[in-house]
Amino acid sequence: MTKLTGAQMIWECLTLEGVEVVFGYPGGAILPTYDAMLGYKIHHVLVRHEQGATHMADGYARASGKVGVAIATSGPGATNMVTGIATAMMDSVPIVCITGQVGSKAIGSDAFQETDVTGVTLPITKHNYLVTRTEDIPRAIKEAFFIARSGRQGPVLVDITKDAQQGSAEFVWEHGPVRLPGYRPDLRTLPGELERALQLINNAERPLILAGHGIISAGARAQVLEFAERAQVPIATTLLGIGGIPASHGLNLGMMGMHGEAYVNSAIQQADLLLAFGMRFDDRVTGNLKTYAVNARKIHIDIDSSELNKNVRVDVGLVGDLRDVLQELLPGVQSADHSAWLDHIDSMKGDVAVRDIQSLPDTGHLYAAHVINDIWRLTNGNAIVVTDVGQHQMWEAQYYKHDHERTLITSGGLGTMGFALPAAIGAKFACPDREVWVVAGDGGFQMTMAELATIKQEKIKLNIAIINNFYLGMVRQWQEFFYEKRYAATPLLGPDFVKLAEAFGLRGMRIKQRAELQGLVEEARADSGTVVIDFQVEQEDSVFPMVPAGADLDKMIRRPARDVMIETGADPDEWELGA
């Protein structure tokens, strides 16, 4: 057996776990590990802030389905990771964070750059480790990867003291499955529940599938589609469920919830059976729980048994991997004809077109929805789009039609502004051959724009769309609707984004008219380097429809319908789209 230093063991373990790229930032307590890195083939991306490292690992994981890895030093390095870890926790994204810690003898002495990182991250990690002995490193890292990627996925942090990194020991890598007696990601419910579920499914008249992130995590697209097609059940998706089933599928109604289509929310309220597949009844999709889908029986399938009956009381709860549970259910699911129900939903859809932002008159301004819809057309819907948080995020969800899994990457649960740019860098490393777009607001973009330097240093190609309305738009919208337009601290003066891009050695563009859009976007896409596009859009536009927080799901604020449709600056129907 060979003796290795703890630092070498870390890289050895990462190599054995199949890691190809890590995102990190060096510092005192992690220096031994950085020194050992030079002997290994894993590519290290130097970030500009440790929050960026966690978002990159997150974006990498969401785009690839593999575990993302972030590295930082002790104290401030580790605490800077907190936002990214919490983001991954809320959205069940598998990442492993490795942090240096002060020497084991100094722990508890308030040493320089000492923070109780396992304590700080305890409630926002799936699990975490403090490793103080060299020989414990391989096992901790192996367990960390196993826990991160199994069951309900999530972030795991491994905090390793400097002396553990410096010490030497025999490297023991236990091949085969990890043995963790208290960790059972394969917990199941009793089989009788399946029968009860089938009875409800086969007798439903107005069934509806609520499709969440679990479809993507479990890789259950085929099973969900087989289920839906056979039993003729329409599907509404959560924000994170987008892409789980093709947007163009006839049974896919689109997004539900606060900014979902009104007819989708109405359908939920009118359904007699809700089938919740890998979603967790977040308050942003249910609205007022007291009036939520009161006519519906509910079947909830989730890998995490603590999600069942958490927010919404369900009639049947099935614990397990969505794909496995559906495979068990499918033999008992009967063909059905719900055409009356589907026709009814279709009839409710009616007025969407008149209220559509695409029908707005041309005010000489650019609308964010146009920008996103046009990017969708120009990219043939094939790009990976990474969004930030706010109005543009909702418009993305509404106007970019995702047919493919893992092509919308967005912070859903935590709603982390500043997520988009670093997460897109991670996504690009996961899928170097794919076209990756950042769609961010001018507010969120400014939170993490230092990562433009990372892009330059790593020579990667992104297309960055800043939806710039000179406001913190979503907050402004709430102020408009619920605080009498008292715009406290929402007007936002940003830098000149074109010059900013140039200062980082990247190309910048500015678009103010829809007529300029096609040409410049095509130019940006064709450019071999990253291009930052400052889309200066209508400033006080709002996202419609909207369920006010805590209101009944079908009591939505609707976009005022316009009676006249005036030509906008360009007619996208006449664009010649390349393949």
Partner 1 sequence: MAHTLIAYVEDKPGVLNRVASLFRRRAFNIVSLTVGRTEQAGVSRMTIVVDTDGPGARRAEANLYKLVNVLRVDDVTNKPAVVRELVLVKVGVTAEQRTAVLQLVNVFRARVVDISAEAMITEITGSQDKVESFIETMRAFHIISVARTGLIAMVRGGSKISANPPLVAAQLPEDGAAEGTSELSMSV
Binding site for partner 1 (CB under 8 A): 118-119, 122-123, 126-127, 130, 147, 180-184, 186-190, 193, 304-306, 308-310, 313, 316-319
Q: How far is the CB of 56 from partner 1 (least distance, A)?
A: 26
Q: Is 50 a catalytic residue?
A: yes
Q: How far is the CB of 7 from partner 1 (least distance, A)?
A: 24
Q: Is 544 a catalytic residue?
A: no
Q: Is 539 a catalytic residue?
A: no
**Cα–Cα distance list, 241 to 209, 218, 369, 412, 538 (Å):** 11, 12, 20, 10, 29
Q: Is 89 a catalytic residue?
A: no
Q: Residues 513-550, buried b or exposed e (16+ Cβ, 10 A)?
A: ebeebbeebeebbeeeebbbbbbbbbeebbbbbbbeee
Q: How far is the CB of 478 from partner 1 (least distance, A)?
A: 26
Which is catalytic among the residues 17, 50, 307, 451?
50
Specify the residue, 29 or 316, whose C-beta has the smaller distance to partner 1: 316
487 Cβ contact partners less than 8 Å away, ≥ 6 residues apart: 471, 476, 479
**Cα–Cα distance list, 76 to 73, 131, 271 (Å):** 8, 19, 50
Helical (H) or strand (E) element with 318: strand 316-319
Q: How far is the CB of 152 from partner 1 (least distance, A)?
A: 8
DSSP assignment letter at 136: G
Specify the residue, 101 or 477, whose C-beta has the smaller distance to partner 1: 101
Helical (H) or strand (E) element with 316: strand 316-319
Which is catalytic among the residues 256, 474, 546, 556?
474
Q: How far is the CB of 118 from partner 1 (least distance, A)?
A: 7
Specify the residue, 159 or 534, whose C-beta has the smaller distance to partner 1: 159
Q: How far is the CB of 319 from partner 1 (least distance, A)?
A: 5
Contact 98, 68 (CB under 8 A): no
Q: How far is the CB of 338 from partner 1 (least distance, A)?
A: 27
Q: Is 113 a catalytic residue?
A: yes
Which is catalytic among the residues 20, 66, 113, 193?
113
Which is catalytic among the residues 56, 89, 162, 479?
162
Contacts 24+ apart (CB under 8 A), 101-106: 101/29, 101/74, 101/130, 101/159, 101/160, 101/161, 101/162, 102/29, 102/74, 102/161, 102/162, 103/161, 103/162, 103/163, 104/132, 104/133, 104/161, 104/163, 104/164, 105/163
Specify the residue, 93 or 430, whose C-beta has the smaller distance to partner 1: 93
Q: Which amino acid is at 574?
A: E
Helix-helix angle 339-349:262-270, to 10 degrees: 150
| 3-class SS of residue 271 | coil
Specify the residue, 279 or 368, whose C-beta has the smaller distance to partner 1: 279
Specify the residue, 6 or 154, whose C-beta has the smaller distance to partner 1: 154
Contact 416, 83 (CB under 8 A): yes
Helical (H) or strand (E) element with 277: strand 273-277
Q: Which amino acid is at 486?
A: R
Specify the residue, 123 or 560, whose C-beta has the smaller distance to partner 1: 123
Contact 236, 210 (CB under 8 A): yes
Which is catalytic among the residues 3, 105, 112, 485?
112
Torsion angle, alpha carbons of 198, 203, 207, 213, to 10:
0
d(CA 117, CA 528): 41
| 3-class SS of residue 381 | coil
Specify the residue, 159 or 388, whose C-beta has the smaller distance to partner 1: 159
Q: How far is the CB of 435 from partner 1 (least distance, A)?
A: 38
Catalytic residues: 50, 112-113, 162, 474
